[in-house]
Structure 1
Amino acid sequence: MTKHIAPALIPLWLLIFLQAGISASSLVVEIVAGRMIAPYVGMSLYTWTSIIAVVLAGFSVGHWWGGRIAARETTAALRITGWTMIAAACTTAGATLLLRAFAGPVVESISHPLAAITALSTLAFFLPSLFAGVPAPVLTVAAMRGRDQSEQALGAMFAAGAIGAIAGTLLAGFLFVPWFGSVTTLLVITAVYVFAALICFTLGRASSRGYVASLAGIAIATGTGYAALRLPAICDSESSYYCIRTVSMSDDPNNAVRLMVVDHLAHGISAQNAPRVMFTEHAAMLDALPRMRMGRTEFSSFHIGGGTYSVPRAWADRGISDIVVAEIDPEVTKAAVERYWFDPTTTSVLHEDARLALSHSEGEFDVIVGDAFTDIAAPEHLVTREFFDLVSDKLSADGVFAMNLIDNVDRLDALGAVVITLRAVFPSVEVWTASGRPEKGERRVFVLLASAQNSPVSSIETLAPDPIRFQVLGTSFIDAVLHRANARVLTDDHAPLAFLMGFDPAVD
């Protein structure tokens, strides 16, 4: 007959403490996973969907395995659980090394973004989640065995797991990531897992030989964590929102040109001695088209997104004042000031969500610029009819709304959806892009102008940084795009912009 350890020897509070701590740690890892993968594939609905699915899959396998372990004699089950915690510590500490070593090859070899995101998530975070999922059933069974009110113990263990998950989510988002960064956070969780392993070994009455053997596992986890900590930082600064990097684009120290990379995407280029020169097509259009429409320098503007603050900096250099920028991340603004020659005294900067900032603003603006749309990371709440209604309310009578958009020229579904949504609000909607026939499969940059009247010209030439001509697309062509795409108005309830931008797994 199997003999179990007397329940009184394992205080319920200790099992609850273990359950809550391990659950909290596993959720911290899940949140950090999104932050760590972002520099390689960006942050989007698809990123979080893949991460959550992979982590839940790991938990599921771990719970199943833990249930089988829990069927053993209690002390033996706890000793095995201690080893799974050592494994959780090693794989958690190693997640950083795996991403650094394999993220580049994975992204380069897997062309489909969704598959690449899922592969990276699985590579780095499936095993940590699997091993972290083992203790829950073991600890719960240990808490129930031999107790007169085992049902209450069961409820307490489930509650501890849920409370731990809540605490871990809050700690990751509000404490660990913004204060310590992703790598250090994973090392903290590694230490928690090692501590949990030692408790499990103690409760499982591990032999002295078992403790000595566990030191090897702890040494591996420690060495792996140290190696991860010694890696050069990917980010110049890691904020609550982004990984921000600066890349030098010029070898001339007296004529510096710098690129800002936010997560994995370029968010602006600025030149030290040429504030009026834009270096990307979308920035060139967002700079030149509103000025063309205003025909003067005395106009007010509201900018959605800061980045390097290239357009506000250029406009301030031209003598345009009354510039307001809504940039949600203060670290982006700090980087723009310190590394991209942005003078914050020329602009009123609001560090909050652009939609909220615009709704709270007083008065009207002659120009509203939407510069927060990049690849699949486009903020969907800024492309809906409800938001465009707000934009219309905040524009002066002869004002103009200019927003950039990227879409696959073979589909143009996202372009069609945004155009038809703007048409539901504005009498005139123009689509501008670089002159010239697009290549098959090209992801082209567009700027949409929405207002009460059409532009006085159909083409302009500006610097990006070499001279480039932009033109407005014909109405008949746009109507054909809308018809072919069966474009529908985007709303706060349904705005699948990332899906429309060409990431349908059936079409690639």
Structure 2
Amino acid sequence: MRVLYRNKSEQHELTVYETKRLYGEKGHFRVLQFSNDAVQGAMDLEEPSRIVLEYPRAMLHLMEQNDPHFNRAFVVGQGIGTIPSYLSDRQVKVAELDAEVVEISQHFFGYKSSSVLVGDGRELLEREQAGTYDYIVIDAFTATGTPEQFTNRSFFSMVKDKLDENGAVLLNVFGRSGNDKLVNAIYTTLGTAFPYIRAFALPAEPNVVQNRILMGSHRPIDVQVRLMAGFVEENLEEGHIIEG
């Protein structure tokens, strides 16, 4: 591993490094890592346009499968810019709390797509007009996981208002595989705002910390399992409703 950059910003401990092996795959990768060794983005330097991590591939499939002609999206959480770069031919707004993450995405990962609004993602989304977006994507993390402000009932109610009549929200949340009480609660709370909800994760042994994808929609959610980058549907237990 060769470290290219390391710094502690106001929000994160940030590291950019290059490695010849990532999750068992050989190659030449450049990685953005946050606190606690959490990989937030990875680029294949031999094929920069390839999406390396499974969860953005799965989220993008869900978006394209359920609305092939969508045009307007709001993304909370920049990372290296994987999702907005892929959607560069559409109208995408990106919100990122940490200005240093934006600079890293541009300098080390060549991000050139939609301009990024620096600030609190929830506050920035609240300023948008009602009924504006086809999709809202929440891909925000702190050292302790998904910020609570993106998981409660009032947030999902606001998200519902910002979506058009056929819109949907996708969340990438950190949780333990199996019966994670917080993930169950986020999923149940999501269901207070949207009539259709589904959950997906990579198969794993119990209690492995992993990305979990939750989706809430105004209409039935379609999925092609073979295009989900290994993610499979989960039947989550009912959890408590997160007020706020």
Q: State the partner residue of 1:290.
A: 63
Residue of structure 2 aligned with 1:333, choices 102, 105, 127: 102
Instruction: Using CA pairs under 8 Å that are at least 6 residues apart, name the structure with larger relative contact order, 1 or 2.
Output: 2
1:469 is matched with: 230
Q: Distance in 1 between matches of 2:68 and 2:211?
A: 24
Gaps of 5+ in 2: 22-26
Instruction: Letter of the 1:241 partner, please give it.
Output: Q
1:307 aligns with 2:79: yes
- Does residue 1:403 correspond to 2:157, yes or no? no
* 3-state SS in 2 of match to 1:355: helix
State the match for 1:433 in structure 2: 201
Structure 1 position 491, deviation (Å): 1.5
Q: Which has the higher strand share?
A: 2
- Cα 1:313–1:234 shift into 2, 3 Å: closer
Instruction: For 1:325, give the aligned amino acid.
Output: V
CA drift of 1:282 comes to 2.1
Q: Structure 1: which 4+ aligned runs deviate by more than 4 Å?
A: none
Which residue of the partner structure matches residue 243 of structure 2?
Answer: 491
Counterpart for residue 117 of structure 2: 350
8 Å Cα contact 1:276-1:315 kept in structure 2 = no
How does 1:85-484 map onto structure 2 within 5 Å? 236-250=6-20, 257-264=29-36, 265-272=38-45, 274-296=47-69, 298-316=70-88, 320-343=89-112, 346-362=113-129, 364-373=132-141, 376-434=144-202, 436=203, 438-457=204-223, 459-461=225-227, 468-473=229-234, 477-478=235-236, 481-482=237-238
The Cα offsets for residues 403-443 of structure 1, whole Å up to 9 and x where unpaired, read as 01222234321121011101111000111223x4x323323
Secondary structure of the corresponding residue to residue 236 of structure 1: strand
**Per-residue deviation, residues 439-493 of structure 1 (Å, max 9, x unmatched):** 233234221110111223352425xxxxx333333xxx33xx11xxxx211012x
Q: Residue 393 and residue 416 in structure 1: after superposition, are their counterparts in 2 closer, same or farther (change >3 A)?
A: same
Which residue type is aligned with residue 332 of structure 1?
Answer: V
Gaps of 5+ in 1: 1-232, 463-467, 493-508
- Partner in structure 2 of residue 63 of structure 1: none
Aligned with 2:105: secondary structure?
A: helix
The farther-off stretch of 284-293 and 304-313 is 284-293
Amino acid at match of 1:442: V
Matched-pair identity in %: 21
Shifted more, 380-389 versus 266-275: the winner is 266-275
Q: Hey, what's the Cα distance between the residues in 2 that align with 1:408 and 1:427? A: 25
Deviation at 1:375, TM superposition (A): 6.9
Report the Cα distance in structure 2 between the residues aligned to 1:428 and 1:378, rounded to whole angstroms. 22
Helix, strand or coil at the partner of 1:323:
strand
Taking the aligned partners of 1:240 and 1:450, their CA distance within structure 2 comes to 32
Secondary structure (helix, strand or coil) at the match of 2:194 reads coil
Q: Distance in 2 between matches of 1:292 and 1:273?
A: 28
Separation in 2, partners of 1:470, 1:293: 17
Deviations 1:356-378 (A, max 9, x none): 00001235111111101467332
Rounded to whole Å, the distance in 2 between the matches of 1:431 and 1:369 is 14
Aligned partners of 1:271 and 1:340 also within 8 Å: no
Checking the alignment, whether the CA contact within 8 Å between 2:11 and 2:142 is kept in structure 1 is no
Q: 1:395: how far off?
A: 0.7
| Structure 1 residues 427 and 284: CA distance shift in structure 2, 3 A | same
Shift of 1:288: 2.1
Q: Distance in 2 between matches of 1:349 and 1:326?
A: 6
Report the CA distance shift for 1:294/1:460 in structure 2 as closer, same or farther (over 3 A): farther
Which whole-Å deviations, capped at 9, do the CAs of 1:310-337 have from their partners, x for residues lacking one?
1111222xxx321111001111000000
> What is the aligned length?
235
Q: In 2, are the aligned partners of 1:236 and 1:246 still within 8 Å (CA)? A: yes
Q: Match of 2:30, SS?
A: strand
Over aligned residue pairs, what C-alpha RMSD do you find?
2.4
CA offsets per residue over residues 138-189 of structure 1, 9 Å max, x none? xxxxxxxxxxxxxxxxxxxxxxxxxxxxxxxxxxxxxxxxxxxxxxxxxxxx
Whole-Å separation in 2 of the counterparts to 1:279 and 1:382: 25
Distance 1:373 1:238 in 2: 15
Relative to structure 1, is the Cα distance of residues 457 and 244 closer, same or farther in structure 2, using a 3 angstrom cutoff?
closer
In structure 2, give the amino acid aligned to 1:339. F
Relative to the length of structure 1, the TM-score reads 0.43
CA distance in 2, matches of 1:440, 1:242: 28
In the alignment, is the contact (CA less than 8 A) between 1:302 and 1:367 conserved in 2? Answer: yes
Q: CA deviation at 1:250?
A: 4.0
CA–CA distance in 1 between the matches of 2:181 and 2:49?
33
Structure 1 or 2, whichever has the larger Rg, is 1
CA distance, structure 2, for counterparts of residue 374 and residue 280 of structure 1 = 19
